[in-house]
Amino acid sequence: MANNPLHTELCGLSMNSPIVLLSGCVGFGEEYTRVEGFSNADVGAVCLKGTTGDARLGNPPHRIYETPDGMLNAIGLQNPGVDAVVDDILPGLDFSETRFIANVSGSTVEEYERVTQRFDDSDIDAIEINISCPNVKEGGVAFGNDPVMSAQVVAACRKHTKKPIITKLSPNQTDIQENARLCIESGTDGFAVINTLMGMAIDTATRTPVIGNVRGGLSGPAIKPIALLKVNQVYEVAKPHDVPIIGQGGITTANDALEFLIAGATAVGIGTALFYDPLVCGKINTGIASYLEQHDMSSVSELVGTLQT
């Protein structure tokens, strides 16, 4: 690892690349291993699909819709439940290849606690908290859009695990910096910035929503400028506390990844790009390594937060 310029330290995890495969895009860590030429060893970490306390069937179709420069999705957290993930799926993953991060989701604080505690007693390397879920006890208001509620979820999960906690921040809120501050005070070890933006598409022939859930999360290149700004804003808050950021949102090339690193991200998340180029991670790794060599840098960490203003 010492001679690998792509080696990255994230929340105490040693990773062989700054690339993290994003939750919901690679199933439970095994989907892309079926693609010839792809290996989990090429990425620093894999974030598993969102997991809830009990099994969920997800939303009605259509669940995915391609936009001019991205994708709308409303899967609805379809998953087999945390017990099935821990008992049946995790034993089949090769933890010698890469790091695996669980994604915890819930509709109540109590569900977040339950799922976090179950993953704490497993081989998972870290836990990502998806605070964009609607709080059923508060009329469906998303935890992630309210800084106080976000902090409550982080604090609750913190009590139930000693593993690194990475909080996924929503862009659909008024003050992402205040949210980050409160989450740091509540015990988060890192951030994933950003989650998808909310959007919709309409079938003009029928005048009905294309997405069965009416609205969905927008990802892909269309959201990159927003994600880049949010990463830089959160970095201003996180830097004094040495809290790292996984920068994500529309990264499709090595240059995209470099922008996020310069803005303050310690690692970069790849998601939508995988749907049309399953081998994109190797290209991004090569591009980052080439940039470091050209600028006489020996590690990715030398590039993080080097934005000149």
The residues carrying an active-site annotation are: 133
The neighbouring-strand residues paired with 241 are none
Pairing mode, strands 19-21 and 45-51: parallel
Calpha distance 157→153 (Å, rounded):
6
Question: Based on C-alpha coordinates, what's the Rg of the chain?
Answer: 18
Q: DSSP letter at 206?
A: T
CA-based torsion, 67, 278, 232, 244: positive or negative: positive
Q: DSSP letter at 79?
A: B
**Residue reference for tokens 């890192």:** 190
**Closest residue by Cα to residue 247 from 187, 131, 166:** 166
- If one counts every other C-beta atom within 10 angstroms of the C-beta of residue 124, the result is 21
Residue 32 is inside which H or E element, if any? none
**Residue reference for tokens 């990475």:** 166
**In angstroms, how far is CA 217 from the centroid of its own chain?**
13
Pairing mode, strands 134-135 and 141-142: antiparallel
Report the SS3 class of residue 193: strand
CA-based torsion, 42, 2, 161, 90: positive or negative: positive
CA-based torsion, 267, 256, 42, 103: positive or negative: positive
The length of the chain in residues reads 309
